Amino acid sequence: MKVAVFGDSFADERINKREAGYKSWVELLREKYYPDLTCYGEAGSSMYFSYDLFLENHEKYDKIIFIMTTPGRLTIPKYIPFQRSNINCYMYHINSIQTAQEHLVNNAFLMTEPGTQATKAAIEYYKFLYDPVFDRRLHLLMKEHILEIRRDTVMVDTLGQGLSAISYYEFDSSGSRPAEMWKYRDRRMCHFSPRNNEILADKMFEWCNGTPVPSKLDLNDFEVPSKEELERLLVHDKNKIND
Amino acid sequence: MKIAIFGDSFAAPLHDSKTDVGLKSWVDYLSEKYDITNYAVEGSSLYYSVSQFMTFNYPYDKIIFVTTSPGRLYLSGNTILEKHRHTHLSSLSYAEFIYNENKNKTDPESIEITKTAQAVIQYFTYIQRTAYDKFIHDLQIEHIKKIRPDIIIIPAFRIHHHVKSLSPCLYDITEMENTHWGIPLNYGSPDDSRRCHMSKENNLILAGIAERWLQGEPVNININDFVIPADDKSFYNIK
């Protein structure tokens, strides 16, 4: 069976690969269940980025897994030459004013002049133009459209008690976002510990086989990693900007 | 029959900044026969009209929805922009106009307007994606059709990527008149006194056709139904 995965960092099997040293749920799903799995996930990407890829590619696949990112993200158009080299860093995805500011502070040397200007334009966009209601409505319209085209899509949300709640659960059993999270650089594969990537891969397989995706994931199905493991995967970063 | 009209300048009432020279729009003609509420606003985006539609469509027997071009911005929730009626900074050229009008002013409100206009200019230069705009345009139209399957949708502009939208639109009437007078096709002077961008004859013709659409005839804009204006362009303050 040919399977495609679309989404953001919760579905990006490349990001953090070297630092984390273990496999993401995407790789595990491929290894255990679906050898012919293609992953289009890209860290930091917007809903439209994945939606557009879905529209272009979904017909090639028997099964679609779509990880819905958070609203309010931007992807700078492709016609703007953004980065100086084709490094594994997607700075043309901007998910908040803080991300844009961090790119300008920490990664300016990687950006072209138009890339820098576009990043500055994104900051102005978030300050003066961003309309969260508009963005949320379009987000939902894109979700509905995907499900209209492919009713059998395994649609998994990151917000609410979605994948982000598992990510937070690893710090805090309430599943809510820890206040100090912004200080850390998350090196976990897809924001999960090795064990939770394994659990999620199995759940994805079940969902691909007809078990409905729950609107709220049961956090008790997942495990809290040891403090030592978390400390290895979350690196305190003094250059991060508070969001 | 209670009718609501949503849309941009192709349906909007006369803007307060313009002098009323006694010309009637197609909406004015329809209002003589029907109980019409007009929610259309000059320069507004599709999202603005969709938001208005979502809030106000329920009490009406019929809805006429004039769809504008994709990619326009609607800056809601900013009290300064609302006060100065700049929430519809819908294009790069209009944002540049507002920017130039305010950039040398030093009062706090003008500074805020200048910064916002600058953000809009940067947005259109570096962030806007036409493919995205077209997609969300179509998604929104499909959405309102689901809510009101009886909605009468009249395209103001052509959307080139979409085969179905290659059918004529209201802008074709403006283009025909502009061609006749030998003025640029995209002529957009604020002095132009044509209502809804059409001569008095074509507003009257459109009102008649819209009445047939209200009675159930499918929307089809046939440019051959419209006429070359009898008056010279100077009648409409077009130079």
Mean pLDDT of B117-121: 96
Nearest 5°: CA angle at A99, between B103 and A64?
120
In this prediction, residue A87 carries a pLDDT of 62
- Is A135 within 8 Å of chain B by CB? no
Contacts 24+ apart (CB under 8 A), A205-211: A205/A29, A205/A32, A205/A33, A205/A34, A207/A65, A207/A154, A207/A156, A208/A3, A208/A33, A208/A34, A208/A63, A208/A65, A208/A154
Cβ atoms of residues A34 and A1 within 8 Å = yes
- Is A136 within 8 Å of chain B by CB? no
Contact B139 A141 (CB under 8 A): yes
The overall pTM is greater than 0.95: no
Contact A117 B122 (CB under 8 A): yes
Same domain for B154 and B202, yes or no, is yes
Nearest to B115 by CA among B125, B128, B105, B127: B105
Pick from B76, B77, B122: CB nearest A121 = B122
Same domain for B30 and B111, yes or no, is no
Same domain for B114 and B148, yes or no, is no
Q: Which residue has the tokens 């379009």?
A: A138
Those residues whose C-beta lies under 8 Å from the C-beta of residue A92, and which sit 6 or more positions away, are A75, A76, A78, A80, A82, A83, A115, A118
- For an interface test with B, the pick among A92, A97, A124, A125 (most B C-beta atoms closer than 10 Å) comes out as A124
- Is A67 within 8 Å of chain B by CB? no
User: Nearest-CA distance from A164 to chain B in Å?
Assistant: 26
- Is B135 within 8 Å of chain A by CB? yes
Same domain for B62 and B143, yes or no, is yes
CA gap B100, B95 in Å, rounded = 9
Model pLDDT for residues A108-141, shown as the tens digit of each residue: 888 888 889 999 999 999 999 999 999 999 999 9
SS3 of B176, please? helix
> What is the token pair recorded at A199?
């659990």
If 0-12 CB within 10 Å is exposed, 13-18 middle and 19+ buried, where does residue A55 land?
A: middle
- Is A51 within 8 Å of chain B by CB? yes
Mean pLDDT of A220-235: 87
Same domain for B140 and B225, yes or no, is yes
Those residues whose C-beta lies under 8 Å from the C-beta of residue A29, and which sit 6 or more positions away, are A3, A5, A37, A201, A204, A205
- When pLDDT is cut at 50, 70 and 90, the band that residue B15 belongs to is confident
Same domain for B184 and B207, yes or no, is yes
Same domain for B65 and B98, yes or no, is no
Q: Which residues of A touch B131 (CB under 8 A)?
A: 52
Same domain for B46 and B113, yes or no, is no
CA gap B183, B197 in Å, rounded = 13
Same domain for B117 and B145, yes or no, is no
Cα-Cα-Cα-Cα dihedral sign, residues B12, B13, B16, B21: positive
Q: Lowest-confidence range among A87-91, A127-131, A207-211?
A: A87-91
Say how many domains are in chain B: 2
Cβ atoms of residues A15 and A9 within 8 Å = yes
Those residues whose C-beta lies under 8 Å from the C-beta of residue A82, and which sit 6 or more positions away, are A76, A91, A92, A111, A112, A114, A115, A118
Q: Using CA coordinates, name the residue in chain B closest to A126.
A: B119
- Domains of chain A in sequence order: 3-72+133-219 (3.40.50)
Query: Is 0.90 exceeded by the ipTM?
Result: no
Contact A77 B127 (CB under 8 A): yes
Q: Which residue has the tokens 């999620």?
A: A200
Residue B65 resides in a domain: yes
* Touching B: A residues 142-161, CB under 8 Å: 142, 145
Contact B122 A76 (CB under 8 A): no
Mean pLDDT of B56-71: 94
How far the first Cα of chain A sits from its last, in Å, is 41
In this prediction, residue B128 carries a pLDDT of 92
Q: Domain ends where: B88, B103, B127?
A: B127
* Integer CA distances (angstroms), B81 to A82, A184, B47, B69, B119, in order: 32, 38, 17, 22, 13
Q: Lowest-confidence range among A134-148, A203-217, B151-165?
A: B151-165
Same domain for B170 and B227, yes or no, is yes
Contact A141 B122 (CB under 8 A): no
User: Nearest-CA distance from A129 to chain B in Å?
Assistant: 6
- The distance from CA B50 to its chain's CA centroid, rounded to whole angstroms, is 13
Taking the CB of residue B172, how many other CB atoms lie within 10 A of it?
Answer: 18
Question: Comparing B169 with A180, which gets the higher pLDDT?
Answer: B169
Pick from A48, A121, A133: CB nearest B123 = A121
Contact A52 B140 (CB under 8 A): no
SS3 of A191, please? coil
In this predicted structure, the answer to whether residue A64 has a pLDDT above a threshold of 50 is yes
Same domain for B150 and B49, yes or no, is yes
Q: What angle, 0 to 180 degrees and rounded to 10, lies between the N-to-C axes of helices B130-147 and A132-149?
A: 80
CA gap B220, B152 in Å, rounded = 11
Same domain for B196 and B144, yes or no, is yes
Q: Which residues of A touch B127 (CB under 8 A)?
A: 74, 76-77, 118, 121-122, 125
Do β-strands A3-6 and A63-68 pair in parallel, antiparallel, or remain unpaired?
parallel
Model pLDDT for residues B180-218, shown as the tens digit of each residue: 999 887 777 778 899 999 999 999 999 999 999 999 999
**In which domain, by residue range, is B142 found?**
2-71+130-232
**Main-chain phi, psi angles of B152, to 5 degrees:** -100, 105
Residue B206 resides in a domain: yes
CATH number of the domain where residue B210 is located: 3.40.50
What is the share, in percent, of chain B residues with pLDDT greater than 90?
Answer: 76
Contact A141 B136 (CB under 8 A): yes
Pick from A118, A128, A145: CB nearest B126 = A118
Q: Using CA coordinates, name the residue in chain B closest to A80.
A: B126
